[in-house]
Structures are given as C-alpha cells and as structure tokens.
Structure 1
Amino acid sequence: MELKLKKDTDKVQRAKAAQAKKENVQQEPSWVEIWESGYLTKNGKPKLGILQMNNSQTDKARLLEVKKAIEDGIIGTGLKNNQILTKTKALDLYRVLMEQRKIGILQEMVAKAPANYRLIQTLSQLEQLVEDLEREPFVALDTETTGLNVYRNEIVGISISLPNADYHVYIPVAHKTGKQLDRDCVLDALRPMLTNPDIGKVLHNAKYDIHMFIRHGVRMRGLLYDTRIAMALLNENETSYALKNLATKYGKHFGFKEESHTFEELFGKTRFDEVALDVALVYAAKDTHLTLELYKWQLDHLQKREKLLQLHRDIENPLVDVCVDMEQAGLLIDRNFAVEYGDELRHEIVVTEGKLKDAFGDINFNSPTQLAKVLYDQLELPDRNKRSTDVKTLKSLQGEHEGIAHLLNYRGLTKLLGTYVDALPEQIQSDGRLHGSFNQVQTVTGRFSSSEPNLQNLPPKARKLVIAPEGKLILGSDFSQIEPRILAHLSGDPLFREPYLRGQDLYSNLASRVFNVPIEDCADGSIYRKKMKIGLLAVMYGTSMFTLSQQLGITAEEAQQFIRDFFTSYPGVHKFIASVHEFVKTNEYVETIDGRKRRFPGYREHAKVYDALAGRICRLANTAEVPTNFWRVKEIPRSLKEEFRKVKGPVESVRRQSVNAIIQGTAADIMKKALLKLHAYCKNKGWELFATVHDEALMLVDERITLAQVQEIEECMLSAVNLDVPMKVDTELMRRWGEGFKKQDWFKNAA
C-alpha cells in the first residue's frame, strides 16, 4: 500500500513539473530573461540571454547601447506579435540607432555652428577672403575630396582658418547641390596664397592635401607645420592619429570639450560632394579650426622640448615635401618583363608542385590544416610551434625532411607571383607609373616605411620589375653598416671602433676576437664571420638565447656563453647597453642623438618587480645571473618561476626595444638628413629622388652622369652626420633595379 502511494505521489509530482514546464514555455520571456538570464524556448530548450552569448567587445558595447536606447524610448524593437528580440535583430537596431543619432548630431552641429564659420559662395566673398589672407602670417588649411586616391579623386571643397581675422571658411567647389563657385576660379584666386612660401600653412596629414592640389595644377609651398607628424614626435604610442580622435582625446586642453566625430561616424559611405552645404561648412571648417588649435597646443609642448622642436622643424617638416616628390615620381614598371617573368614563375610553380606531391602526396599546399596533418601526424616531424606551418617554423624543420625545402621554395614563388609580379602592374596609374606611399613617422623608431607597395619587403627578384625611363639611370646609394657604426660611436669601445678607424672588416675582427681564432680564418664567407653577423645583431638588440641558438644552430647555453664572450671582448659595448637598461628603468624613455624619443610608460614598476624576482632566483640558484634553464632548477619554487615568467617577457622586450630605438632611431635620423640633402641636390640637377629603402636612397639620374657627380651624391649622404668613426656609402648604377654595377665597374665599362 505504501509503495503504491509513493508511486502515485511521484506520478503527481512529475505531472505537475511537466505542466509547470509547459506553462513556463508558453509564457513570453521577460525583458531581463531576453537580455541577461536566458529562458526556455517553446520546445523546452534553454536559450541564453543576448548578453550571455559569446559576444566580441565591440558587439557587447553595441548591444548595451541598443538595450538602453529601447529602455529609454529612443527606438522601438520593431517586432510584431509574439516575436522575441534576438541578437541579430538587436545588432540591426544598432545601425538604426546610429543612423538616428547621425541625423540628430548633424542637426545639432548646424544649429550650434559658431558665428565665425562662413560659407564662401560668391565672388565678393571670395575677394574679401583673399584680401584677408594677405594679412595672415599663416593659416590652417584642408581639402575635402571625392575619395582617398590622390591620383584619381578630386577636390570638392577647401577649408581655411584665419587666426588673425578670427574666422573659418569652407569654399564648396564641386558639391552636387547648393550655390558654389567654380573650382578653377577658386584655385586661381587662392593660388598666390597657396604657392607663397612666406605664408605658412598648418595642416593635418599635409602630404595628402599637397597631392590633391597638385592633382589640380597647384603646388602648395610654405608648409609651416603638420599636426599629424608633430603628434607622432610628442607621443609615438598613440592608438590613432586621426584628427577627430586626437581632438576627442586632447580637445579639453585647447577649447574643444565635446566629442569630435569622424567622417565615417557622421557620413558613412556618403561622398562629401553629396553632403548638404550647411553640414559641410560645420564639418570642414571645424577641421581647420581643430588643426589650428591643436597646432598651438602642440607647439607649446614642443617649445619646452628644444630637441624635439628642432627635430620637427629641421628634419620631419621639410621631409614632407621630399615624400610628396618621391611619391609623385613613382616607379616605372616594365610590363613586358612582368608578363614574361610571370609565365616563368608559373612554370616554376608547376614544377615545384610536382616535387611537393612526390614528397607529401596530393594535398592543397596552401591549406595549413592539410599540411599540418601530413607534417605532424603522418610524417611525425617535431612540433615546435603548435602545429604551425608558417615560414619561420618551416625553416626550423628544413633538416627534418627533404620536402621542406621545396615547400619553402613554393611559398616564395607563389608570393612573388601573386603579391608582386601579377599585382604591381595592376596598380599603375594613368601616367604609366606605380605611385606608392612613403611614411616618415609610421614606425616608433622613426624609420621610413612604405606601402602600396611595401618596398622594404619587396623581394630582390621583384625589384627587377622597376626600370629607368629612357635617358635615365637608377642610382642607389646605401649607407654601409650604419647601425654597427652608430654602436661604435655611442659605446666609445676602442676595440669595437678599431676596425673602422683602420679600414678593416668589422665582422672578421669581431669573429677573430670573440671566437679566439686567427683572423685569416674569419675572412668573407667563413663560418665564423657568418655567425658573427648574426651574433652582433643579437648583442645590439637583445635577441633571446633561444632565438639566437636556433639562428646559430647551437644550444641555448652556448648562445648565452657567446653573449658573455662578446661582452668580455668588448666591455665598452656591454657598459653602453647596461647603461641604456638602467636609464629606461629610471626614466621610462630613451632618445636618439637628435632627441627623438621612444617612451615606455609604466615600465619602471615592471622593472622593479623583475629585479626583485631575479634577485631571489639568483640567490636560490647560487648564480650571478638568472640561469637560462631556470625552469629546471629544483631549488627555485614553481610559484616563483611562474611569477618571474609573467614579468620576464615584458621587461626583456623593453630592454630590446630601448637599445634598438637609440641605434635604429639614430640611423633613421641620419638617413632623413641625408634625404634632405639628396633631394636638394637632385632638384638642382633636374633629377629625381624617387624612393628610400632601409638605409638606401634611390634616384633617377641622367645616363650621362659623371663619376664626380656620383661622388657629390655620396658626399650628400656622408655629410649628414659626424660620428667618431668614419661613415661609408656603397653606390650602384643600373638600368633595372637589382641589376646594378658598383660605381668603379660602371665607369670602367663605360670607358
């Protein structure tokens, strides 16, 4: 009887639970359940709340904005009947919310437009502006355009801020609607101001606007200041150098407390020539107004830092014109060679694919998954980097299987073909040349970089695409061993300087002394000299023992001993590097000879923790320095090893970067000063400086150039710096880049 009652009771409870579950499913989920706690679907399956889902940081922020906007009644859900809000629908609502906000922001911008923002729409207004401009020592200037390609797009308006007259204008010249003046008429009226070098121009990212004026037949002169470049000198760690983003971050210091919206935030994909003129005025005039005030604020900071001010005034600012001229000159691409070379590469790729199939089977060699399965599962090669198939990992596996060499060759051939030989001719502009971009402050050390194409990464074989025009030659002048020479100067180490002072080979001398072998055994091509070239870079830039061991094919302990032997042989170099580590620990920055700074905010505290932990490890291990294999030392508690591991990477990274910033940054400053001299020399001769790659300058010169003129070019570079060791320049002349002759051979053959 009791058993039957128990069964009946269980049955009733199950029925009640089922009914409760059914009723729960039939109920609409609450707002909290939809967003935060989740609910059961009609099928009884659990459903996560929108904010419980796997959301990116961006999506989470957007979803929270949508939730608040719905709760505040700003937007509705747009749902019908019993529809439940989903994550997809919520993200769609974010776009609706942003569009609604744009309209509100634009309306507010127009309503709150300052009284001294003026549209220039008539000839009389333009004439008054020109008259006022004549009384200005400098102005802030900007262009609005149909797009970002300076060789294809056009100016649709010009904005100018006049500091003395205290007003800011926008001159529409090619908007689709609204009263406006003809572009040629406006440019002719502004030409005296634009081309007058005595009227200073302040711009943000000036290079772009100079290109746009050239596009319409006006070469702007008199660049006084570029706020984009100056910001990189004042803080090379900025996450964004866009004007509006800088204004949002720093505007409170110079009178702009509200958020400044970017073009994309306000207009999305709308072209500026489609923007209404009242909106265009506020947006464009604010650009130059912001630039003007940012300039004043930055200048106040620079004037308190004389070396940085001088760096901007004497090097970076005049380099803008050099970059413009290099980009305008462009690269002449040999289209016929590209076609022939492309066919040759395709044939090589087919042959290499055959070798790969023999080695690894018929798989997709561009698929990391398929490749990893063959390498690590079937062939059981050593897994040194989480089943990676990148080039660095493949190089480390070269001795493990003969097919790896074919795979590396295949990677190189396909990249050469796809990224360069096939791609570069497609980027040629209407003038028949390829025009890239040179970026003078893109890197934190101040080194030049380039894009479209990246000349620094251009493979030697791809360089052959670039040829000299008829009647011209390509001349390349390259600083020889500039960074070791800078190290010799900065360290003051007499033994390290000695080879340079005596005109001897640096690497042979270093190898002989460090490896303790006769110098005759360290000649060019010897294993000792090759190892020293790699080892010196490790010393200069603090390469880890493990990386150096892989590069030299030795153990980590042997790599550490190599560094010890080097520092013992060259104590001045060791002292210099140690002094840099101490300086950055105290000051959280380092600087080049010319005062370019590399800042490491927050490093001091990391270094203190590192030193304390390293001290404890050394005491427990009874060593003078942290052992390379400290993980294996039993006397060190695991907790201490873990603590040290967390801080070791960041601290050693700053140590590497700090030494690198001084040496490489100083090399960058020297190269920039050399480019200024070369640019002036080439302009005087009617030649063109058209590119810079690493420590090399490339020029288009007359094919009748003389040896004396080549030596004058070299002197332009050598006179850019005065170190305690002599500088050296290597020069080649060529009709096709990459097929050059040393100057002595060129003129010997010419004779």
Structure 2
Amino acid sequence: MEGLRLNLNALKPAAPKTDAVRATAKRKVEAKKTETLDEAFVRLSESKFTDKERRQFDAAYQAFRDGNFVRTGTGKLTKKEVCEIGRTHLAETGAAIRRQRIEETLANKPDNYYILTDDSELPGFVERIREEVRRQRTEWPGRFEKIGVDSLVACDFEGTGLDSYIDLSIGFSIWLPLLEEGYYLPYGHVGGFDVPAAHKDTDPQLTRSKVIAAISPYLSTPQHGKTFHMGAARYDLHVAQTDGYTIRGCVWDTLDAMHLMNEHEPSYGLKPLTQKYGKYFGVTGTVFTFEDLFGNRSPAPFNTELVGIYAINDVKYGWGLCEFQFEMMQKYGRLFDCYALIDSKLPETDVFMERCGFCIDLDQLRALEAEYEPKVEEATRRVFETYGIDDEFVRKMDRTINAAKIQKWIAAQQKRIRTADDRITKKLTKVNEMKAAGKTHTKSYQNELEMLAKYRKQRAELADATVDNAPQDIKEFVITNGNHIAYLIYDHLGIKDQTSKIERGKKRSTKSDVLDIYFSEEPSLEPLATVAEYTKLLTTYIRPILGSHGVESVMEVDGRLHTNFKAGGTATGRYSSSSYRARKPEVATWL
C-alpha cells in the first residue's frame, strides 16, 4: 500500500498567479522573442543583398528596433519576409513624408504664382505674356540677339507619362522673368484616384482646346524664345506635336547647356542642378523633386493647386538656371558662341528628325544578313584554328578562369579525405579491439567489418586533392563570353593590358572600346576583330531592325525607325541615339 500512496497536494489546483508574476513571465517571453529576432537579424545581415534589398532590410531592422516590427509569416525568419516587411515600412514612411511635403508646399504658395482654372482668365494671361515681351524688348534690347530671339521665358509641360509620342500634356507652366510671375494652366487632371491632395471630378480646370488655342500662337512664333529643361528626350516639343502644333524659338535647353559647361556633373536633373547652383540665382534650401511630391506616378490625379505650385517652381528654377548659364558662358572663352551657333539649334532639329524617323530598305538588310552570317561563321572557324582552341586549350582556360574555385575544391577535398581517413582509423581500431576480445564470432563484429569495407571503398573513390583532379566547369570556348575572350587575349596571347586608358582603375576589360585599341595595334587579333565587326553589325543593327533570330523588331507601325537623339550622350561629346521602344504596336494602332 505504501507504493500506492498518492501525493494529494499535487492534485490541488495551483495558486492563482499574481499580476506581478504574470508581468515577469511576459517579460521573459518577450525577452526570449527579442533575442531570437536579434539573432535572426544578425544571421540575415550576412546575406547577399541588392542595393534595393539592403534598403528594405535596413528599414525592417529599424522598425524592429522601434518596436514596429510585425511578422507576416511563421517559423524561421527569412530574407524574403524581412525585405517584404521593409518594403512596406518604406512605402508607409515615404507616404507619410510625402504628405508632409505636400502640406508644406500648399501652405507656402507664393503670391506671384497663378493657377488658372476658368477659361475666362485666358485672355488676361495672354496679355501678360505680351506685356513681358514688350518689357524685354525695352529693358533688354539685343540681349538675346545671338541666339536669334528678342525675348526669352521659361516653359514646361506636365504630362500623363514619359512616352513622348503617345502621352498627353495635362497642363502648361510659364515663368515671366521681368514681371516675376508664374502661371500654371491645368486642363488634363483626372479624378477618382486615392492619392494625397487628389483632384476631384468637380474641381474646376481649363478646357484643353481653349488653352491650346491661347498658347499655341505664342509658342509657335520663332522670335519669342523659350527655354526648357528637356535634354535628349525633347519631351516638351514632342508633347506639343502630339497636341497638334509645333513649338518654335526653343533656343535654350538647360540640360544640354550644362553638359557643355561641365561634362562631369553627377546629375543633370533640374532639381539637383538647382540644389547645387541655386545660390547663384536666389534659390536656397531644400528643392523638392517630382518623386518627393508625387512618387513614381503621373501628376494627373493630383489637384491643380499642388501640381501648379510644383510646375511653377520648375519654370522658375529653369529660368534661374538658364540665366546663370547664359551669363557664365559669356564670361568664359567662347562657350556662348558655341552654344548660340550650334546647340541652340539642336532641340527643334532633333525632334523633327525623331518624329520623321528613317525609311529602311529591309530587302537590303536581309541581303546583308545573308552575307554577314557566313562571314561570322568563317571568321569564328579561323579564330579556333589560328589560336589552337581545342580541348587542351579549353582545359587550360578552365584552370585559369576558375583558379580560385579550384583552390576551394582542393581544400574541401582535403577535408573529405581527412574525414574518410579518420573514419577508417576509428573503425579499424574498433575491429582490432573486438578481435582482441575474442568477439569475431559476433554479429556486431561482422557489422564493423562491413562498415570498414564501406569506408575504404568511399576513400578509394576520392580523387587526390590536386589541380588536375578538380572538376572542369568550362566545356567549350564561347566567342561571346567576355571571360573566355579575356583569357584568349591576356593569358593565351599575352597582350599587354591597356584597359586603364579607357577605364581608370580597371583591368582586363573586353569592352568594345578597349578591344578596338587591340584590334588596331595587334595584327594577331585579326580573326577576332573580324568576328567582332560582323557580329556587331548583325546584333546591334540588322537583326533588331529586321526582328530576326528571335529579336523583337524596333521598327514602328508606320514602317519607319524612330530614335531618341542624345546631344550629350557620349563622353567624347558625339551624338548618340537609342531606339524608341516604349510604344506598343497594338497601342499605336488603336490610337
């Protein structure tokens, strides 16, 4: 009976926990949870991140430190979950900051900023432009003679997007410098969107057709000069064409002018330039960018007051930058003459050429493709023959390119060998001990022998940890692979590295401008130069235009090739261009 005696005290209900006990227990649980998350963040911090992911991770960690970190998943904390939480916090923080900036912008609207919302105000607005022109002719006689106009103002369009062919303007802004007045004419804002300071369908704005009728005569007059901050896209001139008229007298592009003045600016955006040089034309303090107020979207859903203040700021900044450039260029060398005689003529010319496009003889291109493809094949064959590219060449290339990887394999293989040898030694010791104890007749002894045989077999299958035994990852020479070309040039042929002439601090480059140096100086590279020449013609020009070999054609639905010219698109100052690829054929057809 003694063994059956129960501890009756154990069956009594536990005493209720006091609030203090509960609080202590809760703190312990929370402390344990915090420690676990701390460890998780330390572990995840060692992961590989893109710049975007790193910002998200940092935001999530800051939220955790602030006590605002709420998990969206269960189990082990992952990089994906942390980045998603960080993305959400960034969006929420950005939205809050954006709302604050919007409130600040609306609260500080200058008295000389005019946002017109009634069509009856248009005649008075046009009269103010006439007054500005009259005053400039009187107070600034001949000031703009070299750039071919007798007056100059800053203009800008706000639009539904960045596609200069199909996006529409939603408003026009202008700065009249002598009158010190800025105007915004809204006519394309839309309601129904959940944004701060949203435009409502009932909010007044101007009639598009009446605004265009009011401003187009002035904007189309060549002797009335305009400055825009357009750059390579020439967006505003394209927008006017889409709206049905042509801007003339566009004689100043502040982005192009800054390229001419300083080709090493970190950024050529209007806001960064204003932030940097604004002190010279009366703009100090923080300058809000488009993203600061509107994020990554069109300004069309926002109300006319907010967009109007932002737009007038833009033309005011644009005028200040233009005047600063205008004066500085005349002080130093012949920059102004260069700009006046050449650059001032480019915006209108570029847009004319871009919209015209180029007629392409597709039959001739197909003939060239048929001619060049066999030449590439023949030149490629000569590359393999000339440089002796065979299995041994490929193996040596693999040993060189993957040298670091091979050393890691050797270290790992040595560890595997040591582990296998240790297992065999321990198992052999065990077998000998059982043999000495006279246990050779037991099943355990037989099991030990089988395990010993298994370990010896595994050890025999392990190759020696040498370079020759390391796996070969590269199985063939690929003529379009930059690493393979680098091995051929720098290691196999021993050509002196001249990368630093093109890219300071870089080595062993296979970029086209570096290869061009070698091709011009090294006769031994003739076969490779031939491949590069014909491959570039095929892949850069012929196939993208024809849309052959699985490449989407860059030709537009009008049967022409359109491009965007970039006056400052190269380090050498030459023109460059990029294909216009934003407009989808089905969209253009529908329009």
| Structure-1 residue corresponding to 2:216 | 191
Alignment of 1:312-323 (within 5 A): 312-323=339-350
Q: Give the alignment partner of residue 114 of structure 2, picking from 112, 115, 118.
A: 118
Query: Distance in 2 between the 1:294 and 1:394 partners?
Result: 39
| Structure-2 residue corresponding to 1:162 | 176
Alignment of 1:589-738 (within 5 A): none
How far the C-alpha of 1:129 sits from its partner, in A, is: 1.1
* Deviating more after overlay: 127-136 vs 76-85: 76-85
Q: Give the alignment partner of residue 544 of structure 2, picking from 423, 434, 449.
A: 423
Q: Give the alignment partner of residue 79 of structure 1, picking from 71, 74, 82.
A: 71
Aligned residues of 2:119 and 2:210 also touching (Cα < 8 A)? no
| Structure-1 residue corresponding to 2:297 | 270
Helix, strand or coil for the counterpart of 2:131? Answer: coil
How far the C-alpha of 1:303 sits from its partner, in A, is: 4.9
| Structure-2 residue corresponding to 1:134 | 130
Deviations 1:322-359 (A, max 9, x none): 43444444422112222333344344445555666776
Query: Distance in 2 between the 1:198 and 1:89 partners?
Result: 55
Query: Distance in 2 between the 1:311 and 1:89 partners?
Result: 52
Structure 1, unpaired ranges of 5+: 1-22, 455-751
TM-score, scaled to structure 2: 0.59
Aligned residues of 1:159 and 1:170 also touching (Cα < 8 A)? yes
Q: Structure 1 pair 110/371, CA: closer, same or farther in 2 (3 Å)?
A: same
Query: Distance in 2 between the 1:315 and 1:112 partners?
Result: 40
Query: Distance in 2 between the 1:213 and 1:222 partners?
Result: 13
Q: Give the alignment partner of residue 411 of structure 1, picking from 532, 536, 548.
A: 532
Kindly indicate whether residue 357 of structure 2 is the aligned counterpart of residue 365 of structure 1. no
Structure 2, unpaired ranges of 5+: 1-27, 134-151, 192-200, 391-475, 498-506, 547-552, 581-591
Deviations 1:438-490 (A, max 9, x none): 43344566x33121269xxxxxxxxxxxxxxxxxxxxxxxxxxxxxxxxxxxx
Aligned residues of 1:211 and 1:324 also touching (Cα < 8 A)? yes
Kindly indicate whether residue 131 of structure 2 is the aligned counterpart of residue 98 of structure 1. no
How far the C-alpha of 1:201 sits from its partner, in A, is: 1.6
How far the C-alpha of 1:427 sits from its partner, in A, is: 2.9
Deviations 1:113-169 (A, max 9, x none): 333333323210222211221111243201122333433333222111223443322
| Structure-1 residue corresponding to 2:269 | 242
Query: Distance in 2 between the 1:192 and 1:414 partners?
Result: 50
Aligned residues of 1:360 and 1:374 also touching (Cα < 8 A)? no
How far the C-alpha of 1:290 sits from its partner, in A, is: 1.4
Helix, strand or coil for the counterpart of 1:270? Answer: coil
Q: Structure 1 pair 357/55, CA: closer, same or farther in 2 (3 Å)?
A: same
The letter of the residue matching 1:122 is: D
Aligned residues of 1:436 and 1:450 also touching (Cα < 8 A)? no
Aligned residues of 2:58 and 2:86 also touching (Cα < 8 A)? no
Helix, strand or coil for the counterpart of 2:317? Answer: helix
Kindly indicate whether residue 585 of structure 2 is the aligned counterpart of residue 436 of structure 1. no
| Structure-2 residue corresponding to 1:451 | 577
Deviations 1:220-267 (A, max 9, x none): 222353322332343332111110111222234434333323334543
Helix, strand or coil for the counterpart of 1:156? Answer: strand
Aligned residues of 2:229 and 2:253 also touching (Cα < 8 A)? yes
Aligned residues of 1:237 and 1:444 also touching (Cα < 8 A)? no
| Structure-2 residue corresponding to 1:736 | none
Query: Distance in 1 between the 2:64 and 2:261 partners?
Result: 42
Alignment of 1:501-512 (within 5 A): none
Q: Structure 1 pair 59/246, CA: closer, same or farther in 2 (3 Å)?
A: farther
Q: Structure 1 pair 153/335, CA: closer, same or farther in 2 (3 Å)?
A: farther
Aligned residues of 1:142 and 1:160 also touching (Cα < 8 A)? yes
Aligned residues of 1:142 and 1:159 also touching (Cα < 8 A)? yes
Q: Once superposed, what is the RMSD of the aligned Cα atoms?
A: 4.3
Helix, strand or coil for the counterpart of 2:183? Answer: strand
How far the C-alpha of 1:91 sits from its partner, in A, is: 4.3
| Structure-1 residue corresponding to 2:338 | 311
* Deviating more after overlay: 218-227 vs 425-434: 425-434
How far the C-alpha of 1:433 sits from its partner, in A, is: 3.0
Kindly indicate whether residue 87 of structure 2 is the aligned counterpart of residue 88 of structure 1. no
Query: Distance in 2 between the 1:393 and 1:444 partners?
Result: 17
Deviations 1:199-233 (A, max 9, x none): 33222227432232233332222235332233234
Query: Distance in 1 between the 2:318 and 2:487 partners?
Result: 55
Aligned residues of 1:342 and 1:417 also touching (Cα < 8 A)? yes
Aligned residues of 1:79 and 1:85 also touching (Cα < 8 A)? no
Helix, strand or coil for the counterpart of 1:225? Answer: strand
The letter of the residue matching 2:310 is: Y
- For this pair of structures, how many residues does the alignment match? 415
| Structure-1 residue corresponding to 2:473 | none
Query: Distance in 1 between the 2:123 and 2:54 partners?
Result: 53
How far the C-alpha of 1:369 sits from its partner, in A, is: 4.5
Aligned residues of 1:198 and 1:222 also touching (Cα < 8 A)? yes
| Structure-2 residue corresponding to 1:607 | none
Q: Give the alignment partner of residue 205 of structure 1, picking from 230, 242, 252.
A: 230
Q: Structure 1 pair 165/373, CA: closer, same or farther in 2 (3 Å)?
A: closer
How far the C-alpha of 1:190 sits from its partner, in A, is: 1.0
Identity over aligned residues, as a percent?
A: 27
Q: Structure 1 pair 76/100, CA: closer, same or farther in 2 (3 Å)?
A: farther
| Structure-1 residue corresponding to 2:494 | 382
Q: Structure 1 pair 372/250, CA: closer, same or farther in 2 (3 Å)?
A: closer
Query: Distance in 2 between the 1:400 and 1:306 partners?
Result: 41
How far the C-alpha of 1:422 sits from its partner, in A, is: 1.7
How far the C-alpha of 1:59 sits from its partner, in A, is: 6.7
Deviations 1:607-641 (A, max 9, x none): xxxxxxxxxxxxxxxxxxxxxxxxxxxxxxxxxxx
Aligned residues of 1:173 and 1:186 also touching (Cα < 8 A)? yes
| Structure-1 residue corresponding to 2:444 | none
Deviations 1:577-599 (A, max 9, x none): xxxxxxxxxxxxxxxxxxxxxxx
Q: Which has the larger radius of gyration?
A: 2
Q: Structure 1 pair 290/69, CA: closer, same or farther in 2 (3 Å)?
A: farther
Helix, strand or coil for the counterpart of 1:168? Answer: strand
| Structure-2 residue corresponding to 1:181 | 206
| Structure-2 residue corresponding to 1:146 | 160
Q: Structure 1 pair 120/395, CA: closer, same or farther in 2 (3 Å)?
A: closer
Aligned residues of 1:159 and 1:171 also touching (Cα < 8 A)? yes
| Structure-1 residue corresponding to 2:437 | none
Q: Give the alignment partner of residue 310 of structure 2, picking from 251, 260, 283.
A: 283
Query: Distance in 1 between the 2:85 and 2:259 partners?
Result: 39
Query: Distance in 2 between the 1:296 and 1:387 partners?
Result: 45
Aligned residues of 1:356 and 1:406 also touching (Cα < 8 A)? yes
